[in-house]
Structure 1
Amino acid sequence: MPTDTKSVARALLSVSDKTGIVVFAEKLHARGITLVSTGGTHRILVEAGLPVLEVSEVTGFPEMMDGRVKTLHPKVHGGLLGIRANPEHQAAMFAHGIEAIDLLVVNLYPFEATAAAGKPYDDCVENIDIGGPAMIRAAAKNHQDVTVVVDSADYEAVLADLDAHDGQTTLTLRRRLAQKAYARTAAYDAAISNWLAGELAIDAPDYRAAGGALAQEMRYGENPHQKAAFYTDGSHRPGVATARQVQGKQLSFNNINDTDAAFECVGEFDPAAGAAVVIVKHANPCGVAQDESLRAAYEKALACDPVSAFGGIVAMNRPLDAQAAAKIVEIFTEVIIAPEADEEAKAIIAGKKNLRLLLTGGLPDPRAPGLAIRSVAGGLLVQGRDAAVVDDMELKVVTKRAPDAREMADLRFAFRVAKHVKSNAIVYARDGATVGIGAGQMSRVDSSRIAAWKAGEAARAKGLTDSLAKGSVVASDAFFPFADGLLAAAEAGATAVIQPGGSMRDEEVIAAADDAGLAMVFTGHRHFRH
């Protein structure tokens, strides 16, 4: 037997999530371990017929203040913090009648779920646990002697250790559980502090914390030499983090990144206004379209860049149906993500065993607030999510010619897509579909030329003579610093332009648009995406 094992004679159980606690407690009792508990946990253990002390019997004080004060007592914290090999600690425990607590089982009040559900401020505050984190941190600090459990998923590991070591736990297990305990309280406090900052409209709090729960350990990250894992943040935003995977192999790091990009983009399109499909490759849309059916929208999106779509991610704003599914599986696709799917569509997708199908139950709200966090050397960059939506913007016609109704609809569509294309972003669109996308170039004029070239290539793939950019509109995620990018769009055949405006050379660009016969509108909003 390892020399670092510690006996478990007394356990304190106080859990908000009661999953598995009765069975776990029964197995502890069967090993002769004395049980101590609180409130609702004590009640269900007694109802299960288990002998269990109430914590008030240990402390000599009743639970009070609506349960706010019950475990904050020396007889609890002394039992957790007393070092067994320290004679002074043991003398103090003996002098004050403090019995050692060898196993602590605590999970916390459901603050994250309460806040995510949008409950009133006072309800959220009442779901901030105080005694739980205090006990967890005490037990974790004293993990040399105490085993701390914050997750029901670890009950079996504790029981297995007790079985393997004659009622004792190993230091290896105790250290692992202590690390998890501190991570849990850190994530919990992060959720509370970020919620309070939001409630108080504090955009830049003096300290910013971020936390999450492990959803998936990955084989590797962007590249095989990089370790990676995926965490959920408890926000319950519909998307890849909350989706149900119906079939297919495990998602990779790049799959998750690209699928998130695709679903956030398709979330811009109201299902009531038409079916929408987004195809993403390497985090950039390579085809986006709207139509009456998902199949028609997919075919239009695919036509924008059929080469890049191979091995891509497909997102849609309506439940996947059989007609769309049958078309999508004609080429190799990594992931399909949708709010739902009918049984016939699922059966079709099942024929491609490696194709991942994710169902989210809803669409992300493009207007919803939230945080975007990115690491840099020595720090974090934190900003609000880009929640600006073109439908809420006051579009200003700045050229002599105003866009006609068709052009205006396509301008809104193109700017909606440009929000999700890496900067510098140029998007050509016509009849509710992208026909050319230029992304991530150091020069905006290069993005314009690449997008025009893509439109030409797409036309050739369809056997057409004229570029698909002819008669299209063009969107730019930021202003044109010079007229050259706009003129490149005009040369490609675009007839109307949408851009934020705000350049020192706006008048020069407007004059160039007038000379070329273009209609142009300013949005007043930029959509940089790096």
Structure 2
Amino acid sequence: IGGPTLIRAAAKNFEHVIVVVDPEDYAPVAEALARGGCDRAMRYRLATEAFAHTAAYDAAIVGYLSRRETPEAQPSPWPAYYAAVHRRRLTLRYGENPHQSAAFYLDREAPGEPAVASAEVLQGKPLSFNNLVDADAALELLKEFEACAAVVVKHTNPCGVAVGGEDLATTYRMARACDETSAFGGIVALNRAVDPAAAEALAETFLEIVVAPGFDEEARGILAKKKNLRLLQIPSLGEAPEAWRRGGLDLKKVGGGLLLQDRDVALFAPEGPRVVSQRAPTDAEWRALHFAWRCCKHVKSNAIVFATAQQLVGVGAGQMSRVDAVRIAALRASLPLEGTVVASDAFFPFRDGVDVAAEAGATAVIQPGGSRRDEEVIAAADAHGMAMVFTGMRHFKH
């Protein structure tokens, strides 16, 4: 009690007082004192950190108190006031475009998850605004899988995903095969340490970034020849604290305000997926449907994907019409569509999307359901001999 007041008072008087709130500063301050004292620049920096520390403390208090109208009331999920203090990690060359300035700030309240913000840069040019956004998108999709997995992202949309290859190199090549053209200049995320064979595979084409939980010495030597390639090392996903799997907040800035929502960490409605067609999926189709659904969740809406049990085959992203998303996903497929399954991030408003998917060679569909024309859409699946599964949960992504 009274601690924040003392810290603020000391910080205000930084010309004559040294205030230290971060244990990381103990050693530098001790060294400075041994040399005769902290100079004005150091005292100013320490005072700034002290005010940031007390601001974060006050933000936590107001966030807690403003969830209740009275001390005895049940807390609301959302406080009346939202305040947060972020610390700048990087000043970036520019923003999304060269005429925009930008910086990268760290979230003090992040739940300790493997993240781009905490990644160690092992090699390559400084990270750009777009690099950080794309690497984050790739890593978020990678977190959906426990088996050996590879993700390729371009402009935040996956253009290749694969799981369960015989080794990491094979799994990455499977992911890249989904769309070799779009993979050029892409961002790759892997959930296994990069060995020499995987490094050779990664070196086969131009990439902007590789994110992985490790790179062995020989792999580093191979990838060092790609001097502009950025290597980001993250903690192993399997060893990370479980807190991040429970979510956290997703923030979006709009003119004059800030939108907050829970992160989209669930897959299905509580009752689980249910078969609505006359024919149930085969075991192989079930595996493919689960994989496709996890991938589709990370594609910009309207989103459609074709997939097998181990490999993304075609992606239709960001379309205003769902049937056009199906057409584009089929058109962009570099691999055979016969025998694939289809995932849709939201319901089919008409049967036409299912008809196009069937014509392309898909045998099963997974979607949330909930359209006024669900019966018509299910009838289309039955007419084509397709299995259809409702998830009861939509995954729009804007």
TM above 0.5, yes or no, is yes
Is structure 2 residue 155 aligned with structure 1 residue 282? Answer: yes
| Alignment length (residue pairs) | 382
Which residue is 1:307 aligned to? Answer: 181
Which residue is 1:343 aligned to? Answer: 217
Q: Is the 8 A contact 2:15 2:40 kept in 1?
A: no
User: How far did 1:421 drift?
Assistant: 0.8
Residue 246 of structure 2 aligns to a residue whose secondary structure is coil
Change in CA separation of 1:197 and 1:250 when aligned onto 2, cut-off 3 Å:
farther
One-letter amino acid of the structure 2 residue matched with residue 266 of structure 1 = L
Which residue is 2:388 aligned to? Answer: 520
| Distance in 2 separating the partners of 1:487 and 1:372 | 35
Deviation readout 1:74-106 (Å, 9 max, x if unpaired): xxxxxxxxxxxxxxxxxxxxxxxxxxxxxxxxx
Alignment counterpart, residue 383 of structure 1, candidates 261, 278, 286:
261
One-letter amino acid of the structure 2 residue matched with residue 185 of structure 1 = T
One-letter amino acid of the structure 1 residue matched with residue 8 of structure 2 = R
Query: Which residues in structure 2 correspond to 1:320-399 (within 5 Å)?
Result: 320-363=194-237, 367-389=245-267, 394-399=272-277
Which of structures 1 and 2 has the bigger CA Rg?
1
User: How far did 1:196 drift?
Assistant: 8.2
Which residue is 1:428 aligned to? Answer: 306
Residue 117 of structure 2 aligns to a residue whose secondary structure is coil
One-letter amino acid of the structure 1 residue matched with residue 160 of structure 2 = G
Deviation readout 1:451-501 (Å, 9 max, x if unpaired): 11101xx14xxxxxxxx2222100011111111222221221111000011
| Distance in 2 separating the partners of 1:214 and 1:168 | 23
Change in CA separation of 1:486 and 1:142 when aligned onto 2, cut-off 3 Å:
farther
Change in CA separation of 1:228 and 1:414 when aligned onto 2, cut-off 3 Å:
same
Alignment counterpart, residue 258 of structure 1, candidates 111, 134, 142:
134
Deviation readout 1:36-57 (Å, 9 max, x if unpaired): xxxxxxxxxxxxxxxxxxxxxx
Q: Is the 8 A contact 1:390 1:412 kept in 2?
A: no
Alignment counterpart, residue 56 of structure 2, candidates 161, 184, 187:
187
| Distance in 2 separating the partners of 1:277 and 1:419 | 16
| Distance in 1 separating the partners of 2:221 and 2:100 | 36
Which residue is 1:137 aligned to? Answer: 8
One-letter amino acid of the structure 1 residue matched with residue 77 of structure 2 = D
Q: Is the 8 A contact 2:95 2:129 kept in 1?
A: yes
Is structure 2 residue 337 aligned with structure 1 residue 469? Answer: yes
Change in CA separation of 1:350 and 1:367 when aligned onto 2, cut-off 3 Å:
same
| Distance in 2 separating the partners of 1:487 and 1:395 | 22
User: How far did 1:343 drift?
Assistant: 2.2
| Distance in 2 separating the partners of 1:257 and 1:486 | 33
One-letter amino acid of the structure 1 residue matched with residue 275 of structure 2 = V
Is structure 2 residue 376 aligned with structure 1 residue 502? Answer: no
| Distance in 2 separating the partners of 1:197 and 1:404 | 51
| Distance in 1 separating the partners of 2:39 and 2:309 | 70
| Distance in 2 separating the partners of 1:189 and 1:507 | 54
Q: Under a length normalisation based on structure 1, what TM-score does the superposition of the two structures give?
A: 0.66
| Distance in 1 separating the partners of 2:9 and 2:79 | 28
Change in CA separation of 1:342 and 1:159 when aligned onto 2, cut-off 3 Å:
closer
Query: Which residues in structure 2 correspond to 1:171-182 (within 5 Å)?
Result: 180-182=49-51
Q: Is the 8 A contact 2:151 2:158 kept in 1?
A: yes
| Distance in 2 separating the partners of 1:319 and 1:269 | 15
Moved more, 143-152 or 399-408: 143-152
| Distance in 2 separating the partners of 1:324 and 1:239 | 22
| Distance in 2 separating the partners of 1:403 and 1:516 | 14
Is structure 2 residue 367 aligned with structure 1 residue 450? Answer: no
| Structure 2 stretches lacking a partner, 5+ long | 68-73
Deviation readout 1:96-137 (Å, 9 max, x if unpaired): xxxxxxxxxxxxxxxxxxxxxxxxxxxxxxxxxxx0x22333
User: How far did 1:159 drift?
Assistant: 6.6
| Distance in 1 separating the partners of 2:117 and 2:213 | 13
| Distance in 1 separating the partners of 2:117 and 2:38 | 39
| Distance in 2 separating the partners of 1:189 and 1:500 | 42
Change in CA separation of 1:221 and 1:287 when aligned onto 2, cut-off 3 Å:
same
> Cα RMSD (Å) of the superposition?
3.0
Alignment counterpart, residue 484 of structure 1, candidates 331, 352, 355:
352
One-letter amino acid of the structure 1 residue matched with residue 208 of structure 2 = E
Q: Is the 8 A contact 1:407 1:496 kept in 2?
A: yes
Deviation readout 1:292-321 (Å, 9 max, x if unpaired): 311111111111111111111111121222
Q: Is the 8 A contact 1:329 1:352 kept in 2?
A: yes
| Distance in 1 separating the partners of 2:353 and 2:227 | 45
| Distance in 2 separating the partners of 1:375 and 1:203 | 20
| Distance in 2 separating the partners of 1:360 and 1:167 | 35
User: How far did 1:167 drift?
Assistant: 9.4
Residue 302 of structure 1 aligns to a residue whose secondary structure is helix
Q: Is the 8 A contact 2:66 2:81 kept in 1?
A: no
One-letter amino acid of the structure 2 residue matched with residue 425 of structure 1 = A
Which residue is 2:85 aligned to? Answer: 211
User: How far did 1:390 drift?
Assistant: 5.0
Q: Is the 8 A contact 1:188 1:211 kept in 2?
A: no
Percent identical pairs in the alignment equals 56
Q: Is the 8 A contact 1:481 1:505 kept in 2?
A: yes
Q: Is the 8 A contact 1:197 1:203 kept in 2?
A: no
Deviation readout 1:381-423 (Å, 9 max, x if unpaired): 0011111035976110000111111111000000000111111
Which residue is 2:278 aligned to? Answer: 400
| Distance in 2 separating the partners of 1:360 and 1:195 | 32
| Distance in 1 separating the partners of 2:292 and 2:133 | 22
Change in CA separation of 1:188 and 1:360 when aligned onto 2, cut-off 3 Å:
farther
Q: Is the 8 A contact 1:367 1:388 kept in 2?
A: no
Residue 269 of structure 1 aligns to a residue whose secondary structure is coil
User: How far did 1:342 drift?
Assistant: 2.2
| Distance in 1 separating the partners of 2:196 and 2:286 | 33
User: How far did 1:150 drift?
Assistant: 4.9
| Structure 1 stretches lacking a partner, 5+ long | 1-67, 73-130, 460-467
User: How far did 1:281 drift?
Assistant: 0.6
